[in-house]
Amino acid sequence: MTFIDKLARSEIGDEIIYHEGFHCVDRDGNKIREAKEAWRAYVNGDVLLYQRRVGVDHLQYCARVIR
């Protein structure tokens, strides 16, 4: 399920974890699709973006639905 699918099914206050790992880039250094979709949703005012450290070199990239 894509980030857009998850966002469409979410309600205000829901958290979407759209990536786990150290960086939101692929092996070629390009931003992953989910990160691009999350950024567009942020720019549109649909979500707030943040990161949560869950271990050494392990982050959760999160979006909180605000509308």
Long-range contacts of 2-5 (CB under 8 A, 24+ apart): 2/33, 2/34, 2/37, 3/33, 3/34, 3/37, 3/38, 3/41, 3/63, 4/37, 4/41
Average of pLDDT values for 9-19?
Answer: 97
> What integer pLDDT is reported at residue 28 of this predicted model?
87
Number of domains in the chain: 1
pTM more than 0.85: yes
Average of pLDDT values for 4-8?
Answer: 97
* DSSP β-bridge partners for residue 17: 62
Instruction: Give the range of the structural domain holding residue 38, as residue numbers without chain letter.
Output: 3-65
Q: For residue range 48-58, what is the model confidence (pLDDT) as tens digits?
A: 999 999 999 89
